[in-house]
Copies of this chain bind each other. A is one copy, B any other.
Amino acid sequence: MSTNEILRPFFNPQGVVVVGARSTPGFGYTMPISLINRGWGERMYLYNPKGGELHGKQVYKSLSNLPDAVDLAVVIVPAQGVPGVMKEIGLRGIRNVILESAGFVEIGEKGRALHEEVYEIIREFGIRLIGPNCLGVVNTDNCFHTVSVIDEAFKPGPVSIIAQSGMFGSGLLDFAYQRRLFFSKVVTLGNRMDVNECEVLDYLHRDPATGVIMMYLEGASDGPLLVETLARVTQDKPVLILKSGRTPIGRKATASHTGSMSGEDEIYDAAFAQGGAVRAETVDELLYMARVFSTQPLPKGGRLGIITTSGSMGVMSTDTAISLGLTMPAPSARTIEKVMEDSPEWMNVKNPLDVGPSRQFAIALDAMLEDPEIDMVLASIVIPFSFIRLIKKQGLPISDWVGDIGGIRSSKPEKPFVLCSIGNSEFLDDLSEISSDSTPVFFSPELAVKALSALWEYRRRQIGMENNGL
């Protein structure tokens, strides 16, 4: 069986039982409502030895009466009750479990004993298990989910997440849509007693709905296997990794969080590089990268063209680009000619190209997107918001002023293109609207350039592999 057949029931069960359903506050109460709301009511069963009824559904007193179709159990009972229910699950013939309960290796000795006990049981029955100490999964294709998710986050997108931390995965889902980032699958792995990040990477590699993989790791479950898996996956799909536990005290903290044994940070750096993964240094960087990787084509080279209405934004993004090893060649003669036509006397067409308050922004963008000397384009627009308010009040579209960015982009889609603006969030939203959803509109000029640079790093490695006949 391929990983995808093995892990299929976690993302698309034929029937699921919630072990620990209850009528008092907690996930055992809210998860069933949430599954019912998303159309899973007919395929969801509730289990609690107390029996009774919950949300209009029967609560089974025993697993033995469940219909045969049930191939996944979600366990939300206190840690000490886990061995008991795991045996019941095994005896009932259910072979897939999401174990959300905490209180295992992450709490030390006592939890370790419990871990061993549960591990024996799953080996005995041949159960595959995600967790413990996790929130499980989300699949936006069919709306199956064990993580509590707001409606906005169910909009399907090309990014999938592997997060060791449940709360981190859940936190991402709560705001990513506000940054126009949408997901296909989300897996929170917790302590990784059984299913680990490598298996999930393989699953997502084969998953047609996944284009980009984001990971939050506190430690690798198996270093050499991770490198090998990454090397295979990153040939086809980018993997963006935020790895914490970089410092000794941070590593001690990961041990009591997900029981991860995290090695020296330099080893991870080397491993990710060898596996072709892209490492993000901060949460923000990870988000910027995910947005760029999931919307932009790969560049043919590392030559960045910068257009700006604000000299300072041009200088700041230039500094970042040069520091990261991108080049910024002069625009071609054709670009210079096109921009100089009708341009004010003071304009000096070079790279970065400061068009100032002139109306040349759209012309410059169009020219840069087809300039053979340029592989990627960053454009920053800063316009006083008082002026934007004024033109909006007059009912004029912003594109009258900055040009038809969306139209220009869709006629020249070959190069990575990112917009940037420091300014009122309403103006950034306006820019998103006129630029179409596929153009990232960022606040930070530094992170915008970093994301473009990472895109080129990823592509450069692929080219290297191709040239080596790999």
Where the two chains meet, the residues of A that have a C-beta atom closer than 8 Å to any C-beta of B are 30, 34, 102-103, 107-108, 147-150, 163-165, 167-168, 170-172, 174-175, 178, 216, 218, 244-250, 253-254, 256-258, 281-284, 309-316, 318-319, 322-323, 328, 345-346, 348, 350, 352, 354, 356, 382, 384-387, 389-390, 421-425, 427, 443-447
Point out the residues of chain B lying under 8 angstroms from A348, CB to CB.
107-108, 256
CB <8 Å contact, A218 and B386: no
Point out the residues of chain B lying under 8 angstroms from A387, CB to CB.
30, 148
> How many copies make up the complex?
2
CB <8 Å contact, B282 and A446: yes
- Given known contacts A175-B425, A354-B257, A423-B175, A218 and B310 CB-to-CB distance under 8 angstroms: no
CB <8 Å contact, A312 and B247: no
Point out the residues of chain B lying under 8 angstroms from A171, CB to CB.
310, 382, 421-423
CB <8 Å contact, B284 and A322: no
- Given known contacts A315-B254, A319-B244, A107 and B346 CB-to-CB distance under 8 angstroms: yes
- Given known contacts A174-B423, A253-B352, A282-B444, A167 and B244 CB-to-CB distance under 8 angstroms: no
Q: When chains A and B are docked, how far (Å) is the Cα of A49 from the Cα of B163?
A: 68
- Given known contacts A150-B424, A178-B424, A424-B175, A382 and B107 CB-to-CB distance under 8 angstroms: no
Return the 7 tightest CB-CB contacts between A and B, nearest first: A257-B311, A165-B312, A167-B310, A247-B322, A250-B319, A174-B385, A168-B312
- Give A393 Cβ to nearest chain B Cβ, in Å: 12
Closest to A265 in B: B319
- Give A226 Cβ to nearest chain B Cβ, in Å: 19
- Given known contacts A346-B102, A385-B150, A444-B284, A315 and B218 CB-to-CB distance under 8 angstroms: yes
Q: When chains A and B are docked, how far (Å) is the Cα of A218 from the Cα of B319?
A: 11
- Of B175, B311, B356, B424, the residue contacting A258 (CB under 8 A) is B311
Closest to A26 in B: B357
Point out the residues of chain B lying under 8 angstroms from A147, CB to CB.
384
Query: What would 28 A/B residue contacts be, using CB atoms closer than 8 Å?
Result: A30-B387, A147-B384, A149-B386, A150-B385, A150-B386, A150-B389, A167-B312, A168-B310, A168-B312, A168-B382, A175-B422, A216-B312, A218-B315, A244-B312, A245-B315, A247-B323, A248-B322, A249-B318, A249-B322, A249-B328, A250-B316, A253-B314, A253-B315, A253-B318, A253-B352, A257-B314, A282-B447, A283-B445
Point out the residues of chain B lying under 8 angstroms from A352, CB to CB.
253
Q: When chains A and B are docked, how far (Å) is the Cα of A246 from the Cα of B324?
A: 12
- Give A81 Cβ to nearest chain B Cβ, in Å: 14
Point out the residues of chain B lying under 8 angstroms from A310, CB to CB.
165, 167-168, 171
Point out the residues of chain B lying under 8 angstroms from A443, CB to CB.
283-284
Closest to A216 in B: B312
Q: When chains A and B are docked, how far (Å) is the Cα of A427 from the Cα of B172?
A: 13
Point out the residues of chain B lying under 8 angstroms from A390, CB to CB.
30
- Give A137 Cβ to nearest chain B Cβ, in Å: 15
- Give A8 Cβ to nearest chain B Cβ, in Å: 26
CB <8 Å contact, B256 and A148: no
Closest to A172 in B: B422
- Given known contacts A282-B444, A312-B168, A444-B282, A323 and B246 CB-to-CB distance under 8 angstroms: yes
Give 5 new A-B contacts, CB below 8 A, not counting A165-B310, A168-B310. A175-B422, A246-B323, A247-B319, A256-B348, A256-B350
CB <8 Å contact, B178 and A425: yes
Closest to A151 in B: B386
Point out the residues of chain B lying under 8 angstroms from A346, CB to CB.
102-103, 107
